[in-house]
Structure 1
């Protein structure tokens, strides 16, 4: 195939635009809820259930992600994608019309199930529809479509909620999803299952449910630390999570075994550390440095901008070297994340200017490492395992950030309970993120056996 082939050529145009729109819709909704959640909880008299607006979405997303991957490999992605899309739309409608907090929590569960399944189907469509030469490009566009809402989503959602109502945020996403469905569903219907995965789909479903229960108990326990009840729940949650993680992920993922397990471990670690750092950086800028929420948002957005630019550039470089430099780009990206995080690590004690520099460098690292890791994973996936690999990639992008943010919050609470200042607690939390990135660097060094197969 010519290196001049584009993801927007006539053959791929509708699917590419449909994928980009669906990813933008999910990304915008997730970030918008962060801004409007206080208004939702206040209007629905559910401040005591505030955290479950986010936790319910995460826990449901685990099931949607892991279960649909096995279904795709048996039935193809068209039916699961249609169901997931309808479920997400239904969740938006229920949220927009919610009359109490419990109704909102049910809506968030529907959205989480739908979003997890949708993104897994999208990853599978990328694996089955695009040749290896174009995957780095479409994954770069995928990443950009997910990151761009972080620059405008919270601000736009805040304006909508202030001028009209938070309910219009949910209504406003519906047209985007409808256009996405019209463009992408015809292409999805052409995709067929390439084989069947061995093993019981029922077993995988139960493992996903058990993992969700264990994760929920773990997160609740983290929120209760340093009380003894919190410690007990954290241990119980970890015990319930251990077996499902071993069963649902490729063998050796938790020990960074060379090859596919290492790439999934590296991706999960660096993505979780990045997302969690963004959350706590905003807290540091507002509570310690005294910036306004709008200023903090602009500083964090600088990483999104550099991510988008370099996600696009890595696609061009991938075409130039025909994929042979992918492993080096992943390692370079993780190294740049280490540099960026090392700067952000001291944000509570240094100037805001350093925050911008650190964010830009970290964004460059993500632009290089995130889409490239997906391209490497798909290049070494057999056609009959595309759904499972897609589920694993989506799992790394959703499960690990939620858990790491919970751990980071627990570190901050425990440090303050021990008498440390907010500034010192944030430095310890940032240090935890830096440790995860160092672990990711080790894992990324163990994917050296994965080579480009773009010319096979």
Structure 2
């Protein structure tokens, strides 16, 4: 029998190896899709005549992922997660296929919605797998592995996406992503056999109201991101309605007192949303700025994304090695947010003063490191503050905050960008980065409200995948 000490030493121990490979492969697919999409979206928006819907192309899958996450969280708590994984992976594949052949922007966005619903659901399955397969001592290493899964896509994804787009067209980028997705899910299949459903008397009821609220939240944040494409007279009315609708619909989906930064899980979830809004709301415009204002080709403009993903993975690995005694939660979050603010200010300076490209690339490297420190800690603390049986709810709440924060950040960025004149106006890019800097500063307030963090439980290891 493998000793408890050994099983807590490495996620590559024989009993965890298959689970680790499968989950990391899924994250790698998401990484490639994300980096490729961000790199080539300026070309897609120009070819499909959809520049005013630029932010929506990123926001659509994230918004659709909200009901996907809620349904998956409830369904996983009831059924164990195996069927949820198969259905969500199928929807992701169908959506990617639609995007691949899209002749118009509406078709492209429809595919992104289906793709996002599936991706949101599979994210919840991954978090539940971490909670139910790995002991608490290994959670930090697992999430560091998720960050490391971005390394290879970061090294080759932007360049490959740019080269393929230049050579044969952007449609073939998504064809490649579809093939990678099928292979990655095949790696995860053996682990799914161990997501057994709970006993009938332990199954929670279907949460119809919560699912309905998630659909309403998705519609509200999508309305926010369609605002830039509306006439100016109704644009800000749509923004107001969208913001109120999003706030109303998200409240039942998140832990109580999330929006006021309640101690414990509410502050963790709020921090995740703020980090996502500030970083991802601006990252979509980094290659856009480099291509339109500095004349870089898509493959070269993706360099900023590459270095950020590499520093994210490296910082996440270091975060896992340092441990919680040397890097307590408030220090981790403060350092992470500080580094993200450096990246946003560097982008703002490049947009305003026309500084050399390397300033933005270096700044984004620093920001990626900040995310690599802060993101794994939010994942760890979410599992820490949740109990077995409601880990599906807690995991879905975290991923909802992640997606919703990103979508709201993109909506703010898109509205400012379009209103300021779009790609032809350098000040439009500057407004985006300035707004996201303000958003990131809100996170520093949330850190102060985190409260005491319980020590990791010293419980026996759960049933191993091979057991």
The bucket for the TM-score relative to the shorter chain is 0.7 to 0.9
Aligned to 1:81: 85
CA distance in 2, matches of 1:41, 1:435: 27
Instruction: Give the equivalent residue in structure 1 for 2:342.
Output: 339
The alpha-carbon deviation at position 166 of structure 1 amounts to 3.6
Among candidates 208, 221, 229, match of residue 202 of structure 1: 208
Instruction: Identify if the C-alpha distance between structure 1 residues 302 and 57 changes in structure 2 by more than 3 Å, giving closer, same or farther.
Output: same
Sort the Cα spacing of 1:157 and 1:341 in 2 relative to 1 into closer, same or farther, 3 A: closer
Q: Displacement, 1:439?
A: 0.9
Is 2:224 aligned against 1:221?
no
Correspondence 1:310 to 2:321: no
Query: For structure 1, which segment, 364-373 or 408-417, has the greater mean C-alpha deviation from structure 2 after superposition?
Result: 408-417
Per-residue CA deviation, residues 371-415 of structure 1 (Å, 9 max, x unaligned), is 121111112210111111221222233221122122012123334
For residues 45 and 296 of structure 2, what CA distance do their matches in structure 1 show? 25
Aligned length: 450
- For residues 127-276 of structure 1, the aligned pairs below 5 Å read 127-146=131-150, 148-193=152-197, 200-224=206-230, 227-276=232-281
- Identify if the C-alpha distance between structure 1 residues 121 and 178 changes in structure 2 by more than 3 Å, giving closer, same or farther: same
TM-score by length of 1: 0.88
Q: Note the C-alpha offset of 1:245.
A: 1.0
**Cα deviation code 1:221-249 (max 9, x no counterpart):** 24437x12112211222232222111111
Per the alignment, do residues 262 and 158 of structure 1 end up closer, same or farther by CA in structure 2, a change over 3 Å counting?
same
In structure 1, the residue matched to 2:463 is none
**2:357 aligned with 1:352:** yes
Q: Is the 8 A contact 1:331 1:445 kept in 2?
A: no
8 Å contact 2:158–2:303 — kept in the other structure?
Answer: no
User: 337-346 or 376-385: which moved more?
Assistant: 337-346
Going from structure 1 to structure 2, the CA distance change for 1:447 and 1:202 (only over 3 Å counts) comes to: same
Unaligned stretches of 5+ in structure 1? none
Retained in 1: the 8 A contact 2:220–2:242?
yes
Q: Is the 8 A contact 1:324 1:451 kept in 2?
A: no
Query: RMSD between aligned alpha carbons?
Result: 3.0
1:325 counterpart = 2:331 = no
For residues 98 and 344 of structure 1, the distance between their equivalents in structure 2, rounded to whole angstroms, comes to 32
Aligned-residue offset at 1:95: 3.8
Cα separation, 1, equivalents of 2:287 and 2:118 = 28
Residues 2-61 of structure 1 deviation map (CA, whole Å, 9 limit, x = unaligned) = 376211111111111111111111232233344555666788x67589656545423322
Q: 2:394 aligns with which of 380, 384, 389?
A: 389
Superposed CA offset, 1:324-378 (max 9, x none): 7344222222222233333333222134343233222222211111112111111
Q: CA offset at residue 165 of structure 1?
A: 4.6
Deviates more, 1:363-372 or 1:346-355: 346-355
User: In structure 2, which of residues 357, 369, 377 is the aligned counterpart of residue 372 of structure 1?
Assistant: 377
Q: Does 1:31 align with 2:32?
A: no
Give the 3-state SS of the residue equivalent to 1:11 in structure 2: helix
**Paired residue secondary structure (1:171):** helix
Q: CA deviation at 1:179?
A: 3.2
Quote how far apart the aligned CAs of 1:90 are: 2.5
TM-score, structure 2 length as denominator?
0.86
- Secondary structure, in 3 states, of the residue corresponding to 1:191? coil
